[in-house]
Amino acid sequence: MITCEHCGKEFSSSKSLEQHHSSKHPSLELKVPAIAVREEVKRSKERRRSHSRTRGNLGFGRIALIGLIAAAAVAVGYLVVTHPSTFSSPSAESFWIGKQAPTFTLPVVNGSTFSLSNYYGKGDVLLYFNEGLTCSPCLQQAIDLNKDYQSFRALNITIVAITTDSQASLAQWAQINGLTHVLVLSDQNLSVDKLYNTLGGNVSMMAGTRAGHTFVLVNPSGTVKWRVDYGPGTMYVQDSDLISSVTKALA
């Protein structure tokens, strides 16, 4: 505290003393004790150092928080980019393997009909459930499967693509793209999609109305040998990966 030598009133700072002196003792000389000035300067420096430390700690906290957020973003990106199978449904896969595949009959776009039971004892059938005409990657998948037809035939596999589009619209698309080896089926009333559980939100982006991106391999005895639900995160799979997977399943 600083005491006014003229009236004895105490003040917490020299500035307060100056204001008091100018208003109460304007004609008298102002004297501020040197020790008081040194103490005030010391307190001011301490306040500045304390403020600086606080700001530094807050800055470090912000940096640490930003670092944690960035690390989390990288981890999520890694899962999404390098592990598309994260979007698959392992529970569906484990349920179906070894089970008897539901039999069905559907119209083919060429005007004939396809019955799964007709292939019992003759060869394997790869069912490809997909979104159809609303999904460009899905259509490209069917086109590429048609191009790699010989690779699948070498494994005695018949490829069957199943969508919920009308037979007429599918027939036009198949003719334009030359799908002569892949059998394209119309499941417009969703009956077969429901049998194979391909409409759920865990496998499809258009849950309840269109399938995701599901492959089911049925052997000559009608048993499911392999199933993978790539949707809703993946709408295209390299044929080489599919051939490798079905080859392992058949072995």
User: For 165-205, what is each residue's pLDDT tens digit?
Assistant: 999 999 999 999 999 999 999 999 999 999 999 999 999 99
Q: Which of 82, 126, 83 is nearest to 243 (CA)?
A: 126
Q: Which of 103, 130, 116 is nearest to 212 (CA)?
A: 130
CATH match of 88-250 with 3.40.30.10: yes
pTM: 0.65
Half-sphere exposure of 100 (CA within 13 A, CB side): 6
Q: Is the pLDDT of residue 103 over 80?
A: yes
Q: Is the pLDDT of residue 135 over 60?
A: yes
Rounded Cα gap, residues 155 and 75, in angstroms: 39
User: For 196-234, what is each residue's pLDDT tens digit?
Assistant: 999 999 999 999 999 999 999 999 999 999 999 999 999
Rounded Cα gap, residues 45 and 211, in angstroms: 71
Residues carrying CATH 3.40.30.10, the chain: 88-250
